[in-house]
Amino acid sequence: MVHFEIVRGDITRFPAEAIVNAANRYLEHGGGVAYAIAKAAVGDVREYIRISKEAMQEQVGKDYVEHGEVVVTPAMRLEKDGIKYVIHTVGPYCGGVWDGDKKEKLRKAILGALRKADELGVKTIAFPAISAGIYGCPLEEVVKTFKEVVEKFSKEAKSVEKVYLVLYSEESYRKALEVLNG
Ligand code: ADP
């Protein structure tokens, strides 16, 4: 059984073997958690964008990624906290609107990252609340979707033992806990 836990913190300092980035499809890392990860990993965000785009060409053979496709980059400076990989995945853009299509895209984004972590042989993986920031999806629905996808993934997981959903603000952390427990 894979253990799923909601924690409060900064994902760039979270000691999981793999952390997930809520990226855009071009891996531009311009704002939000993507910018924070790029900044913490190398300092020069443009350099991390260059590394990410190169990895995208090598790993998916295109200059964009679809929901469910992921790209792995090294953790670089984040290795001091035990982080080995950054897995970039792309969630849906909601702009406040939630429906079955958004949910399916989010499911794919989460599952893609979990399967890649398994393939990499990591035991622990930490996610930010994908799509619940600039992409404007309701946090409650994002948390529910995480819970469902991790439960499903539990049945196929080989290496992954712990999945953390890391919430940045106290308010979002409380809200997420309510969804999980309520
Ligand atoms: P998206 O475009 O997918 O919505 P964002 O980066 O805007 O992605 O936000 C995703 C979530 O990550 C938001 O809930 C935001 O508050 C959160 N976030 C931002 N910075 C960090 C961080 N350093 N650690 C963890 N979560 C973060």
How many other CB atoms are there within 10 angstroms of residue 152's CB atom? 14
Q: Is the CB of 130 under 6 A from ligand 1?
A: yes
Cβ atoms of 138 and 95 closer than 8 Å = no
Residue nearest to atom 26 of ligand 1 (CA): 168
Cβ atoms of 75 and 57 closer than 8 Å = no
Q: Which atom of ligand 1 is nearest to the CA of 31?
A: 6
Q: Is the CB of 7 under 6 A from ligand 1?
A: no
Cβ atoms of 65 and 71 closer than 8 Å = yes
* Residue range(s) defining the domain that contains residue 173: 3-181
Over residues 108-158, the pLDDT tens digits come to 999 999 999 999 999 999 999 999 999 999 999 999 999 999 999 999 999
Q: Which atom of ligand 1 is nearest to the CA of 169?
A: 16
What's the pTM value of the predicted model, to 2 decimals?
0.98
Cβ atoms of 179 and 144 closer than 8 Å = yes
Q: Is the CB of 92 under 6 A from ligand 1?
A: no
**Is 59 exposed, middle or buried, given 0-12, 13-18 or 19+ CB atoms closer than 10 A?**
middle
Cα(137) to centroid(ligand 1), Å:
12
- ipTM of the complex, rounded to two decimals: 0.98
Phi–psi pair at 169, nearest 5 degrees: -105, 155
Cβ atoms of 180 and 143 closer than 8 Å = yes
Pocket test for ligand 1, best of 13, 33, 45 (most atoms within 8 A of CB): 33
Return the half-sphere exposure (C-beta side, CA atoms, 13 A cut-off) of residue 12.
Answer: 14
Cβ atoms of 146 and 20 closer than 8 Å = no
The tens-digit pLDDT sequence of the chain (182 residues) is 899 999 999 999 999 999 999 999 999 999 999 999 999 999 999 999 999 999 999 999 999 999 999 999 999 999 998 999 999 999 999 999 999 999 999 999 999 999 999 999 999 999 999 999 999 999 999 999 999 999 999 999 999 999 999 999 999 999 999 999 87
What CATH number does the domain containing 16 carry?
3.40.220.10
Question: How many domains are there within the chain?
Answer: 1
pLDDT of residue 63: 96
